């Protein structure tokens, strides 16, 4: 009984500390678009002596926890790297678990009273979704349909995604649109950076420019994620925590660093 009481007190103290942190952060400039490379699920599972599949399940719990913190801070757009095209090289058992997990969580988030409805979030799944199993594609179509009128925030789940594929598709679309324009003077095709940027999956999904990109697990590479979107003003952070254990207290110093740099630009 005493142990249960102490746990309850600890939970309440943590919740109060989180609310205070959110209020402090919300008083300063808030980024419009934050992206995460959710790395370290498998290593977390090995370290905690759990099955790999449990690590992925814990990773989805972390996603919901962090998404809610971002939404409470009124961050307009959150993008997460959930499944790379290269991940299809993993074992069939792990892929099957990830696909079933994605289906179940997409359906769960789209239900009445869940986080997407509560915060008015439109969900987009970005990537080569045709490579995904049909039952996952059906879940994607469902959740995108039921959230399409939500206009307070955006969640981009990048699934069956690679930045090189996104850029190739964007260039092809920009060239095709250029060819469709009437040009009586000559046959020259003109494609600008802005033309390509407008055809990126994130742009077509209505996402603002990327301001912060975070990768967990201590690995210092971007792994073919949002390479075009990482402009000179995008702040990139590498965090040692594995994704399932990443939370608000890991995000706070990243946001404080962002605010410090924004204030520094305004002063200069």
pLDDT per residue over 216-260, tens digit each?
Answer: 999 999 999 999 999 988 999 999 999 999 999 999 999 999 999
Any idea which of 7-11, 45-49, 235-239, 252-256 has the lowest mean pLDDT? 7-11
Q: If pLDDT is split at 50, 70 and 90, which confidence band does 73 have?
A: very high
Q: What digits encode the pLDDT tens for the residues 111-129?
A: 877 899 999 999 999 999 9
SS3 21: helix
Confidence category of residue 12, pLDDT binned at 50, 70, 90:
low
**For the chain, domain boundaries:** 30-162+207-267
Assign domain 30-162+207-267 to its CATH superfamily: Decaprenyl diphosphate synthase-like (3.40.1180.10)
Asked whether the predicted pLDDT for residue 161 surpasses 90, the reply is yes
pTM over 0.75: yes
Sign of torsion, CA 99 101 104 107? negative
In the chain the beta strands, taken as DSSP E runs, fall at: 33-37, 77-84, 121-126, 153-161, 212-215, 235-238
């Amino acid at each position: 009984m005493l142990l249960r009481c102490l746990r309850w007190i600890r939970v309440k103290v943590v919740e109060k500390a989180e609310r205070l942190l959110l209020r402090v952060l919300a008083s300063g400039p808030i980024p419009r678009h934050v992206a995460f490379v959710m790395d370290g699920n498998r290593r977390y599972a090995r370290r905690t002596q759990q099955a790999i599949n449990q690590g992925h399940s814990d990773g989805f719990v972390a996603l919901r926890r962090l998404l809610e913190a971002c939404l409470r801070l009124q961050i307009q757009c959150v993008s997460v790297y959930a499944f790379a095209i290269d991940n299809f090289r993993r074992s069939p058992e792990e892929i099957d678990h990830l696909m079933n997990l994605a289906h179940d969580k997409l359906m769960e988030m789209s239900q009445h009273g869940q986080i997407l409805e509560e915060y008015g979030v439109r969900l987009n799944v970005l990537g080569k979704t045709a490579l995904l199993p049909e039952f996952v594609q059906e879940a994607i179509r469902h959740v995108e349909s039921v959230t399409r009128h939500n206009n307070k925030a955006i969640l981009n789940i990048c699934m069956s995604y690679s930045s090189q594929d996104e850029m190739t598709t964007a260039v092809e679309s920009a060239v095709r649109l250029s060819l469709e324009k009437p040009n009586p003077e000559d046959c020259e095709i003109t494609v600008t950076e802005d033309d390509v940027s407008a055809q990126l999956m994130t742009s077509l999904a209505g996402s603002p420019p990327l301001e912060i990109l975070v990768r967990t697990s201590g690995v210092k590479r971007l792994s073919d994620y949002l390479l075009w979107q990482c402009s000179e003003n995008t702040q990139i952070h590498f965090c040692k925590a594995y994704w399932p254990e990443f939370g608000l207290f890991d995000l706070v110093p990243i946001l404080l660093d962002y605010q410090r740099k924004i204030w520094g630009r305004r002063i200069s």
